[in-house]
Amino acid sequence: MQLFKKMEEMGHEQVMFLQERKTGLQAILAIHNTVLGPGLGGCRMWSYDKEEDAIIDALRLSKGMTYKSGVSGEDFGGAKTVVWGDPDKDKCEGLFRVLGKFINGLNGRYSTGTDVGTNYDDFVILRQETPYVGALPKEYGGSGDSSIATSCGVYHGIRACCQEKYGSDSLQHKKVAVQGLGKVGFKLTQRLIKDGCEVYATDIREKNVVRAEKIGANIVKPDKIYDIECDIFSPNDMGAVINEDTIDRFKCDIIAGAANNVLKTLAYGEKLIARDILYAPDYVINAGGLIQVADELSFCEYSEERMMKKCESIYHKLLEIFKISKEKGISTNEAANHLVEKRIEIREAIHKVR
């Protein structure tokens, strides 16, 4: 892998490889762009097949965070940490304390929080080594569970998609295929069922499947979720689920969910247009968690009311993006990128004024 070339292509400023032998820590910390402000992005722990997969994930996720902050109007840049390891077997106190020491050494250039494979207990430990962590449990002085904010934003984003596609944002009687029943996917499923949706759901983790079934979700095998005839397909697990193997299997009108980097490449945005499937750009619809942490880090006093109003505004941001997409004849992800890149250009111009 030509890492410097890849960094240049994707616009990255910095990539760090973190290792500590006794704790088993092997991590990649990628800082994409800090024009809008210091890097902000969660810490993912995953058992990648090979080193290159972990690097690519860190690069893609950190770039996504730049765009997520940009489109949300937050004054943060994009960054991400990826810990290479099995979250069910390889965690220990020392690992997160060492990671906290590394992050603290950046002196505020990067702040983090939970992501796939990590939880709040991990970051209570990490917080002992660095203040640069957000969305800690409320009993530890943080803003609490960020998956609530993320699921709220995704829910309102799905409503916006229905408004665009069907002329009404009602979710009653809509058939939804939910992929991933973790922290966000399960809360979203609860909201959808409460609103009268018929939900078909899947997850590779049995405990997640069991609890979703108890609240009324229809469970299907993981690979069958792509073949469900539905109104809405909602990806809420790992990325790149819209790819060469799945693009022709979708039988839906809308794709909208909390997963990051849903499109394997940007070209699949055009393929969705050709199939008349409305796509909610992932970093727009799933920005709730970032909005929560940004509020916690940006203001002297965190306001849950202020934060939730911002999450609800994802509805209107998506309608704006859909309008730009139609007016310019471009995909929805390109329309979202256009908004972010314009904001970054303006901030770069402001920085030059003395």
Q: Can you give the CATH number for the domain in which 123 is found?
A: 3.40.50.10860
- Do 254 and 228 lie in one domain? The reply is yes
- Do 212 and 183 lie in one domain? The reply is yes
- Do 213 and 263 lie in one domain? The reply is yes
Q: Among 9, 78, 83, 123, which residue's Cα sits nearest to residue 260?
A: 78
- Do 112 and 233 lie in one domain? The reply is no
Report the pLDDT value the prediction gives residue 63, as an integer from 0 to 100.
95
Domain housing 276: 147-286+316-340
- Do 267 and 154 lie in one domain? The reply is yes
- Do 129 and 153 lie in one domain? The reply is no
* 301 located within any domain: no
- Do 335 and 231 lie in one domain? The reply is yes
Report the pLDDT value the prediction gives residue 354, as an integer from 0 to 100.
66
Of 110, 133, 156, which marks where a domain is finished?
133
Q: Can you give the CATH number for the domain in which 171 is found?
A: 3.40.50.720
- Do 238 and 125 lie in one domain? The reply is no
Of 92, 109, 133, which marks where a domain is finished?
133
* 254 located within any domain: yes
Over the stretch 223-251, which tens digit does the pLDDT of each residue have? 999 999 999 999 999 888 999 999 999 99
- Do 191 and 333 lie in one domain? The reply is yes
Over the stretch 317-344, which tens digit does the pLDDT of each residue have? 999 999 999 999 999 999 999 999 999 9
* 209 located within any domain: yes
* 235 located within any domain: yes
Say whether 194 is catalytic.
no
Report the pLDDT value the prediction gives residue 76, as an integer from 0 to 100.
97
How many domains is the chain partitioned into structurally?
A: 2
* 174 located within any domain: yes
* 304 located within any domain: no
* 91 located within any domain: yes
Has residue 110 got a pLDDT over 70? Answer: yes
- Do 279 and 156 lie in one domain? The reply is yes
Report the pLDDT value the prediction gives residue 116, as an integer from 0 to 100.
86
Radius of gyration of the chain (CA): 19
Has residue 133 got a pLDDT over 90? Answer: yes
Record the pTM: 0.90
Question: Which is the catalytic residue, given 22, 50, 68, 80?
Answer: 80
- Do 227 and 280 lie in one domain? The reply is yes
- Do 156 and 118 lie in one domain? The reply is no
Over the stretch 11-49, which tens digit does the pLDDT of each residue have? 999 999 999 999 999 999 999 999 999 999 999 999 999
* 213 located within any domain: yes
